[in-house]
Amino acid sequence: MKKAIRLSGNVYSNDLNTNNGVWLQMATMLTGRDARSIMVELLNKCVRFSAAVAWAGENTVATAMLEHSNKLRHLVIGTHMYQTNPSVLKAFKTLPTARCHHPVGPLFHPKIYLFYFGDRKVCVVGSHNLTAAAFDKGNVEVSLLLDEQGDPAVDELERFVSSQWRSAKRIDDSFLYAYEKQYKQKAHSREDLEKGIAALNPPAQGESVRPIMDLTWRGFVDGVASDKHHTMAGRLAILERAAGLFREYSSLSRMPVRARKAISATYGSAEPQLDGLDWRWFGSMKSSGVFTSLIISSPELISRALDLIPFEGKIQKPDYEAYCEAFSQAFDGQRRVGRLPVASRLLAFKRPDVFAAVNSKNKAGLCASFGVAHTTLGLHNYWERIVLPIQNTEWWNHPRPRAPIEGQIWDSRAALVDSIYYQPGHDL
């Protein structure tokens, strides 16, 4: 009996004993929603199927694969860059026909799906990973459905999938345990990449602002060293002393009043400053009366927020968001709220490798360099518009130099952008 599969109006027959079944097209382009429906129909109608994909997640096609797991011949799933969802690996773990490539060595990046109808094979190959983004959420993807009779490359693709399956590993509990922990650690980085960063526009012709995204490490060091309004040695001394205070006391609230006023730059204009350093560099906060009062009389409120930022290690967006929430709560009931200059000053002094202090003297140049409107910059978008773009620059990602001075600059490289964009005549 002849059985037919209808795909987008084309009839594909697996009755190979007659000449009545004609494959109407040798290749069909799959994109948009049609890709998902055709893949599900192929899984429903085929006798057996195989696949090799770079990444996998929970989606309609993966669910259909599991529903037809008795037809599965070979499945190979890649895990490089920790993009594959552990839940999918767990779902396929019990199947001896499913394996994975560990996230080491060359990047495993194919997207191949093979479907068997008797002695005939068809293949879907292209950009579709086994993910919701590819099949359910509207990624811009394109693949080809190839008929073996029209394209002998299908046999080569079948051999490729089989060879990759033989070299892949069983999905066992020990691998899943370690992989899931790494997957969770990378989750926030993936979210940052998915959200992207603000569009960057080059400075207007004749504009004197240095485009920070174009700076090499050498260009960044030269920019810091050529500060016309402060000395590089003085800036490094301030940041190094601040790091020493955090190491010694661990928390802002435990520091003596003079040290707290140094970190927060709330000294009066005639008041002697800690260690003879001018702590007003990187932004003076002396005009913020509410903040000054909190630093002196109720430092626990501000300190509770700053304690949420780790002194060492990677900082993720949830760390910053938790800080912002606690920082804002410290001003509850006050006549004024804490804003970006105060919040970013504290962040830059605790983690000068990650955060830049935004103040009235550098905001115009810094925002112009990143191509964002200074009037729209605030706590709510500082992470996307300042922190992430800085972390995408060549100079920020440069390995830590061995030379002592450059090593110090590298340790405080985000905070030191103030050296490049400080303009005393600009008050915003």
Residue 194: what pLDDT?
57
- Token match 């928390």: residue? 251
Q: Tell me the CATH architecture of domain 4-185.
A: 2-Layer Sandwich (3.30)
Q: Which residues contact 340 (CB under 8 A, 6 or more apart)?
A: 358, 377, 378, 379, 382
Distance CA 42, CA 284 (A): 66
Residue 21: what pLDDT?
40
Low-confidence spans in the chain with pLDDT less than 70: 1-26, 148-151, 188-210, 287, 425-428
The dihedral over CA atoms of 307, 406, 277, 289, expressed in degrees to the nearest 10, equals: -40
Bridging pattern class, strands 72-78 and 98-101: parallel
CB 384 within 8 A of CB 195: yes
Residue 398: what pLDDT?
94
**CA-based nearest residue to 416, from 362, 338, 370:** 362
Residue 268: what pLDDT?
81
**CA-based nearest residue to 295, from 347, 348, 259:** 259
Quick one: angle between helices 289-297 and 299-306, nearest 10?
Answer: 90
**CA-based nearest residue to 305, from 327, 336, 328, 274:** 327
Domain residue spans of the chain: 4-185, 212-421
Distance CA 190, CA 91 (A): 22
CB 101 within 8 A of CB 161: no
